[in-house]
Amino acid sequence: MEFEPVIGLEVHAQLKTESKIFCGCSTRFGAAPNTQVCPVCLGMPGVLPVLNKKVVAYALRMALATDCEIVRQNRFARKNYFYPDLPKGYQISQYELPIALHGHVNITLADGSTKRIGLTRIHMEEDAGKLIHDPDRPVSRVDLNRTGTPLLEIVSEPDIRSPEEAGAYLRQVRAILRYLDISDGNMEEGSFRCDANISVRPKGSDQLGTRTELKNLNSFKHVESALAYEIKRQAEVLAGGGEVAQETRLWDSAKNRTTSMRGKEEAHDYRYFPDPDLVPLVIDEAWIEEVRAGLPELPDKRKARFIESYALPEYDAKVLTSSRELADYFEDCAKQVKNPKMAANWVMGDLLGLLNAEGKEIDASPVSAAQLAELLRLMEDRLISGRIAKTVFEEMVKSGKPAGRIVEEKGLVQVTDESAITDAVDRVLADNPGEVEKYRAGKTKLFGFFVGQVMKETKGKANPQIVNRLLKERL
Ligand code: ADP
Ligand code: MG
Ligand code: ZN
């Protein structure tokens, strides 16, 4: 029997507010343990939470960016469970009235087509603290600095059908959060976390199978590997006549497998009830319109505009709009040159190649958009060849000097003087009589060899069009 995977993802994104969701403590990362706490986030008896307005504004941004309906009167609920890093004994979250419902996110599939993934809901909640387990002694430490940091939980419909789609969905959600400037979306640092729900069912069935929930997924690669493993495992269980147990499983990235962590809780286990300390949150039309008016251009729109106004292929536009910073960089560069496609090639090829190799993000690029544009203009003005441009680029990265200065200092200006190039061509032909004979006898593949020799003679500075023309004439 053939099985089809069904996947729904829950994303927890930390919001970039300066203070926590229900108190004035700082959310700054990296402070000494338990120095950013107060009676409210420590869960002392008798304290009262006060909602941070910016958290709501950020939630509205995400809700509008994903075409959700805003629940005009929503409210907070207590989700009761005990953890050492959750000192109140309950988490303030939202339950039956979340701030937003029924949105969607578009993803691009490998074949270039677009698929719409439904969003069930988006809600606001507080984060728990952190347990730090001592590797040497049976001791765990509790750091409550993170307790009360605002989170958005974004829950997808079970619309995802493969690990690759799950990866594309997560990247798109993260890109939207970053475009909106409301979350860092950093998976490794835990500001963007994902639980993956997965079941399999016989192909063609419209019933949902029993799901497992995968946790401990702290990179896109882990999400995809864990899902692939789990699809295979569940299909084997079903094919063998067994039943999949509804449970929470952990991804073990060292052993490349999932293992059972605990039986899955049901919602009623949490004894949700409306938090009596917080009044219902009423959102008026004026606020929604104000937030809507402040939304930036989002990835889908920007991609369409790049295709339209810079005549870029779909693929280039997708890569270049994958983050707001990269899109800004490209656009800044493209506006300063004649040929935007050439700018796209350089940004995606040379520049991203370099940044990836050094594990850097675009904002840490050693070459600014204006500096790259200067290099591209030297090429467009035929002052340097494409080959020399690569050398100049390397030098720009190393020395931080502008392209023009490197070209000048190293005497790299392209030779367009025909007589100088003619001399080099003649020398090459005279030095290689054997190759000339073979070429004339029909081995035309040798043309590239001659071009290479002339370039060597001229130290890469000869204008390639002139070299080609002169060689053709002579041969
Ligand atoms: P919980 O909060 O208990 O995990 P939810 O009802 O909020 O439960 O569902 C969480 C996620 O599980 C959603 O993304 C949903 O799409 C997904 N999901 C629900 N049922 C299935 C299923 N049978 N197979 C795969 N995913 C599922
Ligand atoms: Mg869940
Ligand atoms: Zn506090």
Residue 127 alpha carbon to ligand 3 centre in Å: 12
Number of H helices, E strands in the chain: 16, 16
Please work out whether the CB of residue 148 comes within 6 Å of at least one atom of ligand 1.
no
Is residue 149 scored above 90 in pLDDT? yes
Is residue 457 scored above 90 in pLDDT? no
Residue 257 alpha carbon to ligand 1 centre in Å: 21
Angle at 196 between CA 319 and CA 71, to 5 degrees: 85
Q: Which atom of ligand 1 is nearest to the CA of 265?
A: 3
Give the contacts of 66 (CB within 8 A, at least 6 positions apart).
100, 103, 104, 105, 119, 122, 154, 176
| CA gap 384, 362 in Å, rounded | 26
Residue 10 alpha carbon to ligand 2 centre in Å: 6
Please write the tens of the pLDDT for every residue from 325-345.
Answer: 899 999 999 898 888 898 899
| CA gap 320, 312 in Å, rounded | 10
Residue nearest to atom 5 of ligand 1 (CA): 155
Is residue 454 scored above 90 in pLDDT? no
Out of 4, 10, 119, mutate this one to test ligand 1's pocket (max ligand atoms within 8 Å of CB): namely 10
* Domain edges within the chain: 3-290, 297-409, 418-474
- The amino acid at residue 323 is S
pLDDT bracket for residue 394 (50, 70, 90): confident
| CA gap 56, 73 in Å, rounded | 12
Residue 50 alpha carbon to ligand 3 centre in Å: 10
pLDDT bracket for residue 115 (50, 70, 90): very high
Please state which architecture CATH assigns to domain 418-474: Orthogonal Bundle (1.10)
Please write the tens of the pLDDT for every residue from 257-277.
Answer: 888 887 766 767 888 999 999
Please work out whether the CB of residue 197 comes within 6 Å of at least one atom of ligand 1.
yes
Please work out whether the CB of residue 234 comes within 6 Å of at least one atom of ligand 1.
no
What pLDDT does 329 receive? 93
Report which of residues 422 and 287 the model is more confident about.
Answer: 287
Is residue 347 scored above 80 in pLDDT? yes
pTM: 0.80
What pLDDT does 177 receive? 96
Q: Please give the share of the chain, as a percent, with pLDDT higher than 90.
A: 51
| CA gap 109, 117 in Å, rounded | 12
Smallest-distance ligand from the CA of 95: 1
Residue 229 alpha carbon to ligand 1 centre in Å: 18
Please work out whether the CB of residue 466 comes within 6 Å of at least one atom of ligand 1.
no
Please work out whether the CB of residue 211 comes within 6 Å of at least one atom of ligand 1.
yes
Token pair, residue 356, equals 């990836």
Residue 197 alpha carbon to ligand 1 centre in Å: 6
Residue 70 alpha carbon to ligand 3 centre in Å: 28
| CA gap 219, 230 in Å, rounded | 17
Q: Which atom of ligand 1 is nearest to the CA of 264?
A: 3
